[in-house]
Structure 1
Amino acid sequence: MTSPAGTAAPRSADAGPEAAHRPAAWVRTRLLATPVAALLTAVLAFGTVFLAAAFPRLLDRTADQGLREFLRDRGPAATSVLATAELGGDAKRLDDDAALLTARTGGAFAVAPGGPVYGSRSGKSRSLTNPGLARPEKVDPVMDLLYVQGLRDHVTLAEGSWPDAPAPDGPVPIAISRDVAETVRIHLGDILETASATRDDEAPRALVVGIVDVTDQGDPYWTDLPCPNRACLNYTTGKEPSAYWRTAGLVDGSALARVRTWQTAGAQDFWRLPVDIDALRADRLAETERGVASYVTGHTANALANATRRPGLHMNSALPGLFRQATARQEAAAPLSAIGPAGLAGVGVVVLCLAAALAGDRRAAELRLLQARGGSRSGVLLRLLGEGAVTVLPAAVVATALALWLLPTPRWGGAVLAASTVALFTLLALPLRAARLWARPRPGVGRRRLVGELAVLVLTVTAVAEVRRRGVATAGEGADPLLVLAPLLLALTGGLLLARLQPLLVGVLTRVAARRPGAVGFLGLTRAARGTGGRAGSSVLPLLALLLAVTTAGFGATVLGAVDTGRTRAARLSVGGDASVIVPVGVTVSSAFADAAAELPGVRASAPVWADTEVFVLGGNGATRVFAVVADPAAYAEISRSLGRGAFDPAALSGGAGGPDTPVPALVSAELAKQLGPGATHRLRLPNGGEVLTATAGTIDATPALQGDGRLFVVLPAGPTVALAPELGRANLWLATGSVDEGALRSLVRERIASDTERAAPAAGSAGSAGRGDVLPAGYSVRTSAGVTADLADDPLQESAARLFWAAVLGAGVLALLAVLLTLVRAAPERTALLARLRTMGLRPRQGLALILVETLPQTLVAAVGGGLVALGAVALLGPAFDLSILVGAEIARGLPIAVPPVVLQTLGLTALVTAGVVAEALIAGRRQIATELRAGDQR
């Protein structure tokens, strides 16, 4: 073609066959054609990758938080490294040595930001003889001398002046805290006189030149120092201890020579290096333990002794032992922390496989058409990978970044690896499923399936047997992979078994429904037997997802329930019931108090008890020390029965009300009965020297008043025993069962007992009780099982493990619901067409909903019931391998008891969740789709 001028016309940019028939971009066109499917794929990838990245971070944070809280609860003294040496040098040398000691830290462990606390202290305390000082029980107060570096940063001068260098022959200038001055009744300007230890000892003196106010009484700075910030109430040794005050006078660094003369024996320089707990990490605990051990007794300790030129430098720390305890706690909590995430991972894998299977079924015709038109397998698979890369990879990157940002922790490798694995699995799932569509069918599929199922069964049996043989949480190995996988393998085996049994069970129900009027039940069960939407293969995966979720939830809930039950049981055994009151030596639980305590709200049974260890059984083999209990038989028997410890018939202790030659019936331990012989009479020698003739009336294995596994004890009835030995009626213990309020019991103790005790008056006003109205006088103890249970449960590691488990259970339940909904959505077109046709034949809307429920709920119910049974089976098979003592916080019997309520609760909860999802899907989507189908006809 030419232009009117005869020149050639320019070629159009769109001219030519190549430009006119250029193929469209596959990935863009495909995603624009199915935007909802692409969006759902991205959402599924985002959710699964986020969970995969989040749970490793949660595990790390849980372990670190549990370690730090455990160490923080031990207190600053236990979490420090203490260095001591003989007193020598001046304050400048103390500073130089402190710098040398801290220079070797910073590798495995670091010093807390507050820095080391160091100084010099005298040896033994000296008694202050000044008249007018506070003497609670006529015992002189005692005082140490102390120099501690950095004092002026932690106190403020209230009166007087700071202490300075002492005169050669004068008293040493000291400062004391205001609390000490008010408690011990020391005044500014007082010269404190001390008692001479020997005849040749010249008693030193101290001059109070300053009164200081402590900025923070709870500051770790004052830890492990001899009471400089407040007066401490101590007790003398002996059968009847007496109370006295102890404190310390604060001196200047120029008075270190006088610190030695205050009490030569034991005077020392000290350096306390508090370890920075917030910098410790659970994954580096072994390395940190080695570093602290080397600092205390290894190569580092020897190097420090040489560097400081102090051959007597002694290093000590409780941290290595605490690290071992923390490791044991982590190993005990690791299975519980891992079981939930492992179950979630299993459900997540099933959901991803199900999504790929449904997508492959939906696009089967399209992929076969592409192959028929000459498309190569590799080309089609690459295009499917391109689709996945556009939808999956951005969602995976965003999910991983979000998990790393929301859950900060120093370790990121595990989270990134888990997220990458899930993203790769999601990306390859559809291409691998598509590749199966082109595979030639081969004979023997049934045999290969049977072989695979037998392999899973053998692996499950091996895992269970190995866990039972090895136990749980082998020392030094952390979470046992077999224990983590064993519940999942049991669930997988149960799922494979149910997949074979479900068609048979539904077939039986179908035959029953065929004999009944109405076609809804029969039609729904028939479709359920074929699989949802007629796809039996795809229906196995939702069943497996549900079963995994129910099994994991039921098994973990049983473990948590056993921990709570064991903790309550241990607390009751520790208390001796639900409440106990112990009084000091020489004080009696009065009958007025016992009667008033029995009337407290919630008390079901109570008894005042006399108990003592200074009782001897006299026999042919000499005297055997035993633990003796004297109590009212009926009340004590009720407490024993309620506690489940040493229950007996109170009638066994009846009689014995005669004279001194009439034996008193006694219940003895089995070990003591072997020594005494059957039906033997024997004499008990009491603490005051008296004797009581007793006769064995029976044996019991334990008794509430005796904690632990005491083997030698005797229980006597109060009536005849007190008639023969009145001193045994002075009860020193009160026990009760019921829901006893600890606050009310403490108030009653203060009102009824403390007021009758002369020793309570000075003790009650001691510095140790300042500002606390619930503090009891010294020697009294009030405990309740509820309070002890709360103390045992106050463990961040256990709480975090439980929260992590329940989060995993919730996630597994949501994913299981998603698996069911994916199956329903995939079968929706066929089901909608069926319902539309049935509507034209008179099917009512309610019958349509019933048809959907009858078709889908059998699978849910079978999976829920099967999961509950598998969970109970897992508890029965794996329970003997569990030792929950560390999780409970007290020593309990090994094993995991079978508990039906937790399993049933989890089963019903997940069943209700899935059922609600099915009903919602049917109500929301079903009516709209049926109406569309009725208007447009079958357009498939």
Structure 2
Amino acid sequence: MRTRLRSAPSSALLAAALAFVAVLLAAALPRALDRGADQALRSFLDDRGPAATSLLATSTSRYGNESPENLDSVRDALLARTGDAFAVAPAGTVQGTQAAKPRSLANPELPRPDGVPPGLDLLYLRDAAAHTALVEGRWPSGGAPDGPVPVAISQQAAQTLGVRIGTVLQTVPSSSDPMSAEVVGLYRATDEADVFWTGLPCLTRACASNTSTVPPQRYWKTAALVGPDGLDRLGPWGAGAEDFWRIPVDTDRLRADRLPVVAREIAAYVGGPTASALRGTTQRSDLRIASQLPELFKQAEARQQAVAPLAAIGPAGVAGVAAVVLCLAAALTGDRRESELRLLLARGGSPGGIVGRLLGEGAVTVLPAAALATALALWLLPAPRSAAALLAAGAVALLAWLAFPVRAAVLLSARRRGPAPRRRLVAELLVAAATAAAVFEVRQRGVAPAGEGLDPLLVAAPLLLALCGGLALARLQPVLVGMLARAAGRSSALVGFLGLARAARGTGGRARPPVLPLIALLLAVTTGGFGATVLDAVDSGRLRVARLAVGGDVQIAAPYGGALPPAMTEAAAALPGVRTSAGVWTDDKAFVFGTVQGSTQVTVVVAEPKAYAELARTIGRGQFDPALLSAGPSADAPVPALFSSDLAKLAAAGTYRLSLGGGELQIGSVGVVEGTPARPGPGGAVVVLPAGPTTARLPRTGRPDRWLATGQVDGDRLREAVRAAAPAGTAGQYTVRTSAGTAAELGSDPLQRSAVRLFWASVAAVAGFALLAVLLTLVRAAPERAALLARLRTMGLRPRDGIRLILTEALPQALAATVGGALVAVSAVALLGPAMDLSALVGSNVPTGLRLTAPPVLTQALGLALLVTLAVIAEAAISGRRQITTELRAGDQR
């Protein structure tokens, strides 16, 4: 064995390198998937905010028996039940007591925006001093039982309300006992963005709020802190008080693979056995624990399961091509060493002994490389889980180690029963049957329903189609190339005929061209083309959703109740790239009288018919014939109107009374539209009116509050134009949205980005393995081909003709595989596309189905064809330079 390895060090090094790369990818893939899933989970939860990712425990305050120590004891009992599946965030718990209701303040000097007195809420907050800085006065303590409650208020709230140290805040007389609060201290939050203040009512500044009346009225509200001595005063202030403990869960320690376990623990904590045990431990039978985490966990798990089948297509293609390449390398090595193995067998070696020696060779070359690759993958991609990576690395290492000894055992075995063509035909029929069954099942039931995780059929179906196409192409290629060779034989040129003839019958004494390189190339093109089509559909789906949400490619919106200055819309319409634009006036609170319901609230859109119709046609929502609204009605005739389908179900064709904020109109239904670009979201009752007659009767509608446009408009230049045209001090009131920015927001999800990165990395790996398969085939045939060229050179063949001969022989297989792979990718999209649900990758609900587009498939096919062609040309140039004297040696059997 040592002698053999020394005699062929290059072969040993190549085998080790191939095993190293394959095992490295196999070990890295599960780690990359785990890291991407964990990052996506944490980002998803962090985006929901600390309030949503916390456990909130509440209990009715115990009047006369309330103390900070009692709150601490309950907190300790709550924390004692954490730590197994989830842990508390470093920010720690937030606890305290809050009055059940705020009280209105009667001081006449306090500001009243709409005549409504400000409201004041009282809280006791444990450890508030650690998150604030005392600006003036002192922290509240003491106070007579029948006197004002000492409180501390934030400095910003005091400035807003005009309050200072010593101010006594009187409450509005009500049925409850009159109370007052004395401001004894002013504080400032050291960091208003600190999670400590999350979910607490206006403790860092005064908040503007609206009453629930119609119309709503504005008023100020804020909250003040009491000391431990004021705990018993919170109940009388708010007609009751409530203790609370907010326990933030450490999302940075959550793992996607343990999400079901954590979800069960949280569910038990919220409303299961843990919650029951805590009520007994704390002796608070009314202890309630709530959290949004169970619902968020369900959403996160559903997102992962929805993306998993789409994200697994690329890695599955890598696995398939890598397995083909390892088998191809074993087959080529077996063909190269077949005479050596049979000589050993003839000299007395047993088949078992020879295979054992080959296992030893593989153990020396493959296993150390596999171990090094596994260690490198674990080091480069740190993750808490290693079992999947070790299992994948072990499987690939085992295949790389055993492939050649198994091939040798087959070569050394006794003659197998049954002719080879029959066995091949049976195997091909089995593959075709499995492919048909997989495609039929996916088409019948669609992708696995949400909650079932990875769909193996959806992942395996493209690979089975590629395998089936490769087997079919392997049978068709010799026939087609043979026909070309016979056609070339009728001409006087020798190089074309000889190259095509060798391509048709195979090289190296084979009866036909090898099948494995074809399968590798078809798998590469099919995987790349199918996956690229999916991602192209995702991009176009995001853009379509973004355009519907924006109402075009760009939108400028005025503040509620305002209008866009004419100079602003003119400057925006003059920007480069604007194709279609329309200014519209909208009202969401209009009513149509005379419907089946009596009156129906609608959204009114007033626009110039032709421009608005062109915009709706471009966006693909709310299309209509502008002639329906272009006919000018007489002065006393109803204004023509288009009703949305939702409104048309409640109002047949006829005349109706429309009540707007600025007056009333008589309108007549002249058609039905499906929604409007001016308002996102499906459904809703909409009325579209022409600008001319509507403005003549209601001049207010002539000033649009939205400007919509399509085209390649630069968002930065649009915002600059809006700022320049806006009245002084009002630029921030106008909202600018672009479809490109909205689409980027939809695609900013780490789960989607991880799936896209994984796919393109898989495409690169697949292309590399497919190129390696071609190179292995070329290198295997290189000695025999070089000898042929040398002999032809002695008969007058020119060097450039030798290169042409090599290209003519090698390129038909590569080009046939490229064309076949493109056709198989197109077939995969056509057969499996209707079952694809891309909503998880798009970031919004989109119709199920995958539309076939040529550019993604052609890009992948032509890119791989170019790589293979360059590899063939390079190998041809190297082979063409071989010396004749080196090749023409007597008895050369390489």
Tell me which interval the TM-score lies in, with the shorter structure as reference length: over 0.9
Corresponding residue of 2:101: 124
Match of 2:145 among 168, 174, 186: 168
How far is 1:197 from its partner? 4.5
Cα distance change on mapping 1:121 and 1:931 into 2, 3 Å: farther
Corresponding residue of 1:327: 301
Deviates most, 602-611 or 643-652: 602-611
Corresponding residue of 2:281: 307
TM-score, structure 1 as length reference: 0.90
Task: Confirm or deny that 1:277 pairs with 2:231.
Answer: no
CA distance in 2, matches of 1:366, 1:262: 98
Corresponding residue of 1:806: 760
Mapping for residues 821-832 of structure 1, pairs under 5 Å? 821-832=775-786
C-alpha contact 2:806 2:876 (8 A) present in aligned 1: yes
How far is 1:331 from its partner? 0.9
Corresponding residue of 1:929: 882
Mapping for residues 165-244 of structure 1, pairs under 5 Å? 165-187=142-164, 189-198=165-174, 201-212=177-188, 214-244=189-219
Corresponding residue of 1:368: 342
Amino acid in the other structure paired with 1:373: R
C-alpha distance after superposition, 1:785-820 (max 9, x if no partner): 222212111100110111111111111110111111
C-alpha contact 2:306 2:450 (8 A) present in aligned 1: no
How far is 1:164 from its partner? 2.9
Mapping for residues 328-343 of structure 1, pairs under 5 Å? 328-343=302-317
Task: Confirm or deny that 1:559 pairs with 2:534.
Answer: yes
Match of 1:569 among 544, 553, 559: 544
- Unaligned stretches of 5+ residues in structure 1: 1-26, 761-773
Task: Confirm or deny that 1:32 pairs with 2:9.
Answer: no
Residue-pair matches, total: 888
C-alpha contact 2:305 2:452 (8 A) present in aligned 1: yes
Corresponding residue of 1:668: 643
How far is 1:305 from its partner? 1.6
Amino acid in the other structure paired with 1:90: S
Match of 1:450 among 415, 425, 437: 425
CA distance in 2, matches of 1:355, 1:322: 48
RMSD: 2.5
CA distance in 1, matches of 2:611, 2:220: 42
Deviates most, 421-430 or 667-676: 667-676
CA distance in 2, matches of 1:902, 1:494: 19
* Secondary structure, counterpart of 1:656 in structure 2: coil
How far is 1:711 from its partner? 5.9
How far is 1:557 from its partner? 1.0
* Secondary structure, counterpart of 1:686 in structure 2: strand
How far is 1:531 from its partner? 2.4
How far is 1:822 from its partner? 0.8
C-alpha contact 2:135 2:185 (8 A) present in aligned 1: no
* Secondary structure, counterpart of 1:697 in structure 2: strand
C-alpha contact 2:646 2:683 (8 A) present in aligned 1: no
Mapping for residues 469-868 of structure 1, pairs under 5 Å? 469-535=444-510, 539-604=514-579, 605-618=581-594, 622-660=598-636, 662-670=637-645, 672-673=647-648, 676-677=651-652, 680-688=653-661, 691-710=664-683, 712-743=685-716, 745=718, 776-777=732-733, 781-868=735-822
C-alpha contact 2:116 2:217 (8 A) present in aligned 1: yes
CA distance in 2, matches of 1:228, 1:532: 83
- Unaligned stretches of 5+ residues in structure 2: none
C-alpha contact 2:569 2:707 (8 A) present in aligned 1: yes
Corresponding residue of 1:468: 443
CA distance in 1, matches of 2:266, 2:512: 59
Corresponding residue of 1:14: none
Cα distance change on mapping 1:689 and 1:404 into 2, 3 Å: closer
Cα distance change on mapping 1:202 and 1:674 into 2, 3 Å: closer
Cα distance change on mapping 1:890 and 1:394 into 2, 3 Å: same
How far is 1:309 from its partner? 1.6
Identity of aligned residues (%): 57
Mapping for residues 421-432 of structure 1, pairs under 5 Å? 421-432=395-406
How far is 1:937 from its partner? 7.3
* Secondary structure, counterpart of 1:157 in structure 2: strand
Amino acid in the other structure paired with 1:639: L
Cα distance change on mapping 1:131 and 1:853 into 2, 3 Å: farther
CA distance in 2, matches of 1:500, 1:99: 74
C-alpha distance after superposition, 1:400-421 (max 9, x if no partner): 1111221122221111111111
C-alpha contact 1:83 1:314 (8 A) present in aligned 2: yes
* Secondary structure, counterpart of 1:218 in structure 2: coil
CA distance in 2, matches of 1:286, 1:369: 60
CA distance in 2, matches of 1:516, 1:652: 69
Amino acid in the other structure paired with 2:122: L
* Secondary structure, counterpart of 2:642 in structure 1: strand
C-alpha contact 2:154 2:203 (8 A) present in aligned 1: yes
C-alpha contact 1:126 1:195 (8 A) present in aligned 2: yes
* Secondary structure, counterpart of 1:714 in structure 2: strand
Cα distance change on mapping 1:752 and 1:253 into 2, 3 Å: farther
C-alpha contact 2:603 2:687 (8 A) present in aligned 1: yes
Cα distance change on mapping 1:289 and 1:342 into 2, 3 Å: same
CA distance in 2, matches of 1:372, 1:269: 90
* Secondary structure, counterpart of 2:382 in structure 1: coil
CA distance in 2, matches of 1:657, 1:501: 71
Corresponding residue of 1:906: 860
C-alpha contact 2:366 2:400 (8 A) present in aligned 1: yes
* Secondary structure, counterpart of 1:554 in structure 2: helix
C-alpha contact 2:85 2:262 (8 A) present in aligned 1: yes
Amino acid in the other structure paired with 2:280: N
Amino acid in the other structure paired with 2:671: G
C-alpha contact 1:126 1:194 (8 A) present in aligned 2: no
CA distance in 1, matches of 2:695, 2:161: 44
CA distance in 2, matches of 1:346, 1:558: 19
How far is 1:250 from its partner? 2.7
* Secondary structure, counterpart of 2:515 in structure 1: helix
